């Protein structure tokens, strides 16, 4: 795997990608695309049996090498780990995985959102953002933030051969954000673009509320493209 | 001008657009494009003489009907008003214009940002966002938020015939956001897209910090496009 300061960084295609919360829509959609691209994928869930069921289903759809495990098993088996966890339980689950995630690249894609009769809105987060919360909980991991705006529906539909989306990758560790950008690039159509330091993650997470409002108004699965890059 | 609940809304092309802070780069760039599109534009500044100088300069570049006035004169003369004010002084200036802005569509494009050696970051705003601060200060106006991510350099350069950018327009007043979307649409290449309620303005303002980080990394004038819309 990638090592801070090492001369050669192994390609993301040789890495094992863990998806904590891989039974949820967002994690599952990304896992389908990564499996399809030939990456080794481990689905994590609190319940190992449900993780294995989801893994079997993803393998059926996308082929490739997909297995399931409980969250700790998923984290241990993986080189880089997507935390696609519900916001409720985000902190608690990450705390329980501190040892397994030490030294690894962790990608937080969690959007802390609330919904009321007026629609979606961003929840305040004491640490600033879900990603910064992860960074505080996991001081020995290399925490990045990315994949906030993906449409689970579009990702899961492999008849969509070109996913029209830029993935903003945030973090203070250049090598880690480069690896995560590569992980975005393996999805056809998607570009991984550096999107700033982790302290600027809140607005990227919160912007998902705007995309949901756009989806409702325009009956779309809206995503972002960055122009002039 | 547009009237809440009226049957017919006059086209934005028949309105006078005021630009408070029109001597600054962001306001000036937009004023150039609106003048070029044939809209009547009034540049506002604390100093009427400087406003008139800026207006003359814009007229030289873009042609059209451009005049200058102090901020109160600009607000009084206009049907819809862009507040392109520095964040420092935003609240104070709007408070001083409550009467002149009553009943009018106000567009807030202000990005409350800080900069340190690590680059740009979003400033916390007690009211949630600059736009919500404007809404609180101007209860008799129709406050919207838009034009946060425009590149002043690109706008001011009329050799750029196609501006590759979607403008997110936020607000709770459907008729007002429709008028502001039309105001975005008059700039060639630009689309005005509804971007959610005003309570979701913070992340749109704050996202400018990410775009600045992207600009620095990629040597670009980055903007946003919304896909699938």
Q: Do A210 and B121 touch (CB under 8 A)?
A: no
* Res B9: pLDDT: 54
Counting residues of chain A whose pLDDT is more than 70, the rounded percentage is 96
* Res A116: pLDDT: 97
**What are the DSSP calls for chain A, one per residue?**
---TT-S-PPPGGGSEEEEETTTSHHHHHHHHHHHHTT-EEEEEESSHHHHHHHHHHHHHHH-S-EEEEEHHHHHHH-SEEEE---STTHHHHHHHTHHHHTTSEEEE----EEEETTEEEEPP-TTSSHHHHHHHH-TTSEEEE---S--HHHHH-TT--S---EEEEE-S-HHHHHHHHHHHHTSTT-EEEEEE-GGG-HHHHHHHHHHHHHHHHHTS--EEEEET-
Q: Do B197 and A119 touch (CB under 8 A)?
A: yes
Rg (CA), chain B: 16
Query: Which residue of B124, B125, B214, B221 is the best one to mutate when testing the A interface, meaning the one whose CB has the most A CBs within 10 A?
Result: B214
* Res A11: pLDDT: 85
Query: Which residue of A117, A200, A209 is the best one to mutate when testing the B interface, meaning the one whose CB has the most B CBs within 10 A?
Result: A200
Counting residues of chain A whose pLDDT is more than 90, the rounded percentage is 94
3-state secondary structure of B51: helix
Cα separation, A105 vs A131, whole angstroms: 12
Rg (CA), chain A: 16
Q: Is residue A210 within 8 angstroms of chain B, CB to CB?
A: yes
Q: Which residue in the set A200, A207, A223 is minimally distant from B228, CB to CB?
A: A223
- Give the neighbor-by-neighbor strand order of the sheet with B105-108: B66-70, B40-45, B16-20, B80-83, B105-108, B142-145, B166-170, B191-196
Q: What is the pLDDT of residues A67-112, one digit of tens each?
A: 999 999 999 999 999 999 999 999 999 999 999 999 999 999 999 9
Cα separation, A174 vs A215, whole angstroms: 33
Cα separation, B44 vs B81, whole angstroms: 10
Q: What is the pLDDT of residues B22-51, one digit of tens each?
A: 999 999 999 999 999 999 999 999 999 999
Task: Give the residue from chain B lying closest to A122, CA to CA.
Answer: B200
Note whether A50 and A56 are within 8 A (CB). no
ipTM: 0.94
- A207–chain B nearest CA distance, Å: 6
| Average pLDDT over every residue of A43-65 | 97
Q: Is residue B227 within 8 angstroms of chain A, CB to CB?
A: yes
- Residue B110 in tokens: 């202000």
Note whether B182 and B12 are within 8 A (CB). yes
Q: Which residue in the set B194, B210, B225 is minimally distant from A204, CB to CB?
A: B210
Q: Is residue A206 within 8 angstroms of chain B, CB to CB?
A: yes
Note whether A170 and A146 are within 8 A (CB). yes
Cα separation, B197 vs A6, whole angstroms: 47
List the domains of chain A with CATH numbers: 13-218 (3.40.50.720)
The three state secondary structure string of A130-173 is HHHHHHHHCCCCEEEECCCCCCHHHHHCCCCCCCCCEEEEECCC
Q: What is the pLDDT of residues B80-110, one digit of tens each?
A: 999 999 999 999 999 999 999 999 999 999 9
Task: Give the residue from chain B lying closest to A226, CA to CA.
Answer: B224
Note whether A189 and A164 are within 8 A (CB). yes
Q: How confident is the model at residue B11 (pLDDT cuts 50, 70, 90)?
A: confident
Q: Is residue B89 within 8 angstroms of chain A, CB to CB?
A: no
For residue A6, is pLDDT > 70?
Answer: no
- A215–chain B nearest CA distance, Å: 8
| Average pLDDT over every residue of B6-35 | 88
Task: Give the residue from chain A lying closest to B212, CA to CA.
Answer: A196
* Res A9: pLDDT: 53
Eight-state DSSP code of residue B188: T
For residue B64, is pLDDT > 50?
Answer: yes
Nearest one of B74, B141, B140, B145 to B105, comparing CA atoms? B141
* Res A1: pLDDT: 47
Counting residues of chain B whose pLDDT is more than 90, the rounded percentage is 94
Q: Do A228 and B220 touch (CB under 8 A)?
A: yes
Note whether A163 and A155 are within 8 A (CB). yes
Q: What is the pLDDT of residues A136-189, one digit of tens each?
A: 999 999 999 999 999 999 999 999 999 999 999 999 999 999 999 999 999 999
Cα separation, A208 vs A18, whole angstroms: 23
Q: How confident is the model at residue A13 (pLDDT cuts 50, 70, 90)?
A: confident
Note whether A39 and A51 are within 8 A (CB). no
Q: Do B225 and A224 touch (CB under 8 A)?
A: yes
| Average pLDDT over every residue of A31-48 | 97
Residues of B numbered 16-45 whose beta carbons fall under 8 angstroms of chain A's beta carbons: which are they?
Answer: none
Note whether B142 and B134 are within 8 A (CB). no
Q: Do A210 and B222 touch (CB under 8 A)?
A: no
């Amino acid at each position: 795997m990638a090592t801070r300061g090492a001369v050669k960084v192994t390609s993301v295609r040789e890495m094992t990608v863990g998806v904590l919360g891989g039974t949820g829509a967002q994690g599952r959609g990304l896992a389908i695309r990564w499996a399809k691209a030939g990456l080794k994928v481990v689905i994590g869930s609190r319940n190992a049996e449900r993780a294995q069921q989801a893994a079997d289903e993803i393998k059926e759809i996308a082929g490739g090498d997909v297995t399931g495990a409980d969250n700790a098993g998923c984290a241990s088996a993986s080189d880089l780990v997507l935390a696609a966890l519900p916001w409720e339980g985000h902190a608690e689950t990450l705390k329980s995985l501190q040892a397994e995630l030490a030294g690894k690249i962790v990608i937080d894609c969690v959007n802390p959102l609330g919904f009321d009769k007026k629609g979606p809105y961003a929840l305040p987060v004491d640490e600033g953002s879900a990603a910064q919360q992860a960074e505080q909980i996991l001081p020995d991991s290399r925490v990045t933030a990315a994949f906030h705006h993906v449409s689970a529906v579009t990702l899961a539909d492999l008849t969509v051969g070109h996913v029209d989306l830029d993935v903003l990758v945030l973090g203070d560790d250049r090598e880690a954000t480069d690896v995560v950008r590569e992980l975005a690039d393996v999805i056809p159509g998607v570009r991984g673009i550096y999107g700033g330091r982790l302290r600027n993650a809140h607005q990227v997470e919160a912007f998902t509320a705007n995309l949901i409002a756009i989806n409702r108004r325009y009956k779309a699965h809206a995503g972002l493209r960055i122009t002039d890059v």
